[in-house]
Amino acid sequence: MNIRMDNIGIVVEDLSTVIEFFTELGLELEGRAMAEGEWAGRVTGLGNQRVEVAMMKTPDGHGRLELSHFLEPAVVADNRRSPVNALGYLRVMFEVEDLDGTLDRLSPYGAELVSEEVVQYENIYRLCYIRGPEGILIGLAQSLQG
């Protein structure tokens, strides 16, 4: 059986701001479009819907992040500030080459460490969780093996 993960989806309020943040992280905007009408609602089970969608991809082309801004129907819940042990969507993790440099670049875009420090796991990784725009939870890892 052949399977690959296509993308992870995150619902946001301010699509442009979140696109800027993930662009600064290193993702590339692949496209931005409206998904609307009865066909889209059949996929999601939400009925007639209007959603602005931006697809972002990692530079290697293997990972994608789908950012969605719902115009109709209205958003029904806000779980962005849930702690990391909440059920459901937890976080998306990215491996970066320079963790400290990445944090410095993302700080003007509202990125804040969830804990008080970047943690080192043995001699394998430096790791942290940050909150990005709109409280989106993001994991960052820097390999120490190479």
Going along the chain from its start, the domains and CATH numbers come out as 8-72 (3.10.180.10), 92-143 (3.10.180.10)
* pTM, 2 dp: 0.91
Average pLDDT over residues 23-42: 93
Judge whether residue 50 has pLDDT over 80: yes
CB 138 within 8 A of CB 132: yes
pLDDT tens digits, residue range 71-81?
999 998 888 88
Terminal CA-CA length for the chain: 32
pLDDT (0 to 100) of residue 129: 96
**What is the pairing mode between strands 112-113 and 28-37?**
unpaired
* % residues pLDDT > 70 (the chain): 100
pLDDT tens digits, residue range 81-114?
888 888 887 789 999 999 999 999 999 999 999 9
Q: What is the DSSP letter of 124?
A: T
Mean of the per-residue pLDDT values for the chain?
93
